[in-house]
Amino acid sequence: MKKTMAVVVMLATALSLVSAKSSKKYSFTAGAHALAGVGFGTFDADTEKTIKDNANLSKGIGIDVGGGAWINFPLVQGLCIQPEVNYMYNMAQTSYKDTTAGVTTDTNTVYSYSSIDVAALFTYKVQSINFLLGPTVSFPISDFTGSTKGSITGGSLSNTIDTTNTVTIDTTATFGFQAGANTNVRFGLGQIVAGARFMMDFTPIQHFNKNSNGEITSKDDLYKRMGVLAEVGYRFAL
Condensed to tens digits (0 to 9), the pLDDT of residues 18-49 reads 444 433 444 789 999 999 999 999 999 999 99
Q: Is the dihedral of CA 118, 122, 125, 131 positive or negative?
A: negative
Q: Which residue has the higher pLDDT, 127 or 167?
A: 167
Residue 129 in this model has a pLDDT that exceeds 70: yes
Position 15 pLDDT exceeds 50: no
- For residues 174-197, one letter each, b for 16 or more C-beta atoms within 10 angstroms of the residue's C-beta and e for the rest, the string is bebebebbbebeeeeebbebebeb
Q: Measured in Å, how far apart are the chain's first and last C-alpha atoms?
A: 27
Using the predicted structure, report yes or no on whether residue 2 has a pLDDT greater than 90. no
Residue 137: the pLDDT is 97
The mean pLDDT of the chain is 88
* Percent of the chain residues topping a pLDDT of 90: 73
The Cα 38–Cα 201 span in angstroms is 14
Query: Residue 177: is its pLDDT beyond 80?
Result: yes
Confidence band for 128, pLDDT divided at 50, 70 and 90: confident
In contact, 35 and 229? CB cutoff 8 Å:
yes
Predicted confidence band of residue 66 (pLDDT cuts 50, 70, 90): very high
